């Protein structure tokens, strides 16, 4: 294995013991391989061994939202898998994962955005579009308030919704 830079542990069976969780993870990774054109996404796992210089190079360029396994692929294509018995005993015992649905979705978003600039551009466009929509809507509401104030039935609600829409746009981007 001296010619390999990254070795991932591949579970012999579904690690979670939940058919739904294992299947959804498998299907998302399949989608990510196709969407990102990175064949190694299917191998990504928290259980890995990495050659020191590759790990240091990836860590040096990784930002807060960089998916570390994607960063590893920026520096090598010498990636292999080793089948191991992996089981999430905590999940099997309690039925509770360390990850909630929202954190899994953030994890997936980070993988996609780190992998391909198309996804980063899409997120930026979505955030900018949402901000623009909130500004235009705010202007329309202000015009209505000055031209025909009787049309506004509930005071304060519009400004709260516009603020949420505007600020949420920057969370997306």
* 54, 69, 80 from 76: Cα distances, Å: 7, 11, 11
d(CA 82, CA 70) in angstroms, rounded, equals: 19
Contacts of 78 (CB under 8 A, 6+ apart): 3, 4, 5, 6
The residue that leads in pLDDT, 163 or 16, is: 163
> Could you tell me if 36 and 110 are in contact, meaning their C-beta atoms sit under 8 angstroms apart?
no
pLDDT in tens, 6-63: 999 888 877 666 778 778 888 888 888 888 888 888 888 888 999 999 999 999 988 8
Task: Please state the domain extents for the chain.
Answer: 6-114, 121-172
pLDDT in tens, 102-153: 888 887 888 887 776 666 677 778 778 877 887 888 788 778 878 887 887 7
What is the pLDDT at residue 12?
Answer: 81
The residue that leads in pLDDT, 169 or 153, is: 153
- Looking at the chain, the number of H-run helices and the number of E-run strands are 7, 3
DSSP secondary structure letter of residue 39: T
What is the pLDDT at residue 170?
Answer: 58
Residue 120, burial from CB neighbour count under 10 angstroms (0-12, 13-18, 19+): middle
What is the pLDDT at residue 5?
Answer: 92
* 22, 54, 69 from 25: Cα distances, Å: 5, 26, 16
DSSP secondary structure letter of residue 173: -
What is the pLDDT at residue 79?
Answer: 92
Write down the pTM of the prediction: 0.61
Q: Residue 3 pLDDT more than 50?
A: yes
pLDDT in tens, 66-112: 889 988 988 998 999 999 887 777 776 776 667 777 888 887 888 88
What is the pLDDT at residue 173?
Answer: 47
d(CA 109, CA 87) in angstroms, rounded, equals: 25
Cα dihedral angle (115, 85, 94, 27), rounded to 10 degrees?
40
Residue 51's nearest CA partner among 113, 5, 104, 7 is: 5
What is the pLDDT at residue 169?
Answer: 58
């Amino acid at each position: 294995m001296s010619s390999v830079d990254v070795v991932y542990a591949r579970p012999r069976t579904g690690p979670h013991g939940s058919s739904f969780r294992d299947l959804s993870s498998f299907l998302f990774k399949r989608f990510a391989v196709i969407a990102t054109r990175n064949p190694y996404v299917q191998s990504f796992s928290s259980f890995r061994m990495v050659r020191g210089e590759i790990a240091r190079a990836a860590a040096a360029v990784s930002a807060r939202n960089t998916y570390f396994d994607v960063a590893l692929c920026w520096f090598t294509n010498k990636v292999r898998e080793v089948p191991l018995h992996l089981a999430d005993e905590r999940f099997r015992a309690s039925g509770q994962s360390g990850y909630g649905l929202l954190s899994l979705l953030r994890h997936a978003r980070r993988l996609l955005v780190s992998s391909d600039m198309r996804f980063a551009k899409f997120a930026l466009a979505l955030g900018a579009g949402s901000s623009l929509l909130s500004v235009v809507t705010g202007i329309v509401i202000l015009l209505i308030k000055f031209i025909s104030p009787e049309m506004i039935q509930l005071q304060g609600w519009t400004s709260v919704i516009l603020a949420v829409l505007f600020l949420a746009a920057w969370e997306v981007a």
